[in-house]
Structure 1
């Protein structure tokens, strides 16, 4: 049984590599874990009833190591969660294989992944902008970041005399 699982993961990793190369051909493209899982099962002809989260990490780990061995950029940076557009916790393997320290800060991890995606596009993209492109968060995550920034409101107005926060009328209750 163990050898069968290893063979299946190797087959899925090979298919994942091909799929990720295709994704990297389009500037700023990403693929979700769910889409990748479906694609590699379809392409390989080997399906599983196991939850995606129980096997995709091992497959992507093989892709990380193969990309490093080939001298390719970390293609797994192109894989993001459906709900938030962020790379998964397994992205730490990209850093580990590259000999970099782990990143605890989520935004720092996402920025590293954005740089890694740009490397992928620069090597494989068929539609790279003439200026070489720029790193970017995934579209879904970028939208969430912008939405959060928009929620940050202006500081409350304060009275120039007593420095208390002004009510919505704009007239200080203490100073009139």
Structure 2
């Protein structure tokens, strides 16, 4: 048996022949695919896509896969998409890609700086809501007659206030030695 028959699958590879693909080349191909997929998502009012679904779709469409965790590369792909949006004067298609909860990921603000310059937004979810609406207005064919509305997708949970815990009962203090008495109420030192 030849040694090359047992070669491990490279970290980033073309599915058709299992050959290694340079990571930067893969990012470029995934970004081209992601942009087209995000335009498709933007064509339906109020739609969005999760990072995981987008990652799976760009790998399937390009035929290039990676064994790296999604958190190690999807931000770079979306950063490239954001740069293209900025160059073309388009709304940020990256605003359509969210966490499972609907909230924006930590890297969204970085993509905003790639496309628009300046600092990341103070409130990424609100910023993305405005950008998503702009995407729908640009690409969607099913916009409501009122022009649509910004919609923050992230689930925010507000905890109900809890009643304060009652103070623990105070045990009496021994008048002779000034130590707190045990639960029996009798001082172990003096009685």
The interval holding the TM-score normalised by the smaller chain is 0.7 to 0.9
TM-score by length of structure 2 reads: 0.69
Q: Deviations over 1:62-104 (max 9, x none)?
A: 000011111111000000011x211111111233131242234
* 1:93 corresponding residue in structure 2: 110
Distance (whole Å) between structure 1 residues aligned to residue 44 and residue 97 of structure 2: 14
Query: Higher strand fraction: Structure 1 or Structure 2?
Result: 2
Contact persistence 1:64–1:93 (CA under 8 A): no
Deviation above 2 Å: which 4+ runs of structure 1? 99-104
* 2:129 corresponding residue in structure 1: 114
2:79 alignment partner, one of 46, 54, 61? 61
Greater relative contact order (CA < 8 Å, ≥ 6 in sequence)? 1
Distance (whole Å) between structure 2 residues aligned to residue 39 and residue 91 of structure 1: 19
Query: Higher helix fraction: Structure 1 or Structure 2?
Result: 1
**Unaligned stretches of 5+ residues in structure 1:** 154-176
Contact persistence 2:45–2:140 (CA under 8 A): yes
1:48 alignment partner, one of 66, 75, 100? 66
Q: CA RMSD in A?
A: 2.1
Shift of 1:33: 0.1
1:5 alignment partner, one of 23, 33, 43? 23
Q: How many pairs were matched up? A: 143
Distance (whole Å) between structure 2 residues aligned to residue 126 and residue 43 of structure 1: 24
**Unaligned stretches of 5+ residues in structure 2:** 1-11, 13-20, 163-191
TM-score by length of structure 1 reads: 0.75
Aligned pair in 2 of structure 1 residues 134, 10: CA closer, same or farther (>3 Å)?
A: same
* 1:14 corresponding residue in structure 2: 32
Greater C-alpha radius of gyration: 2
Q: Deviations over 1:116-138 (max 9, x none)?
A: 00000000001111111010012
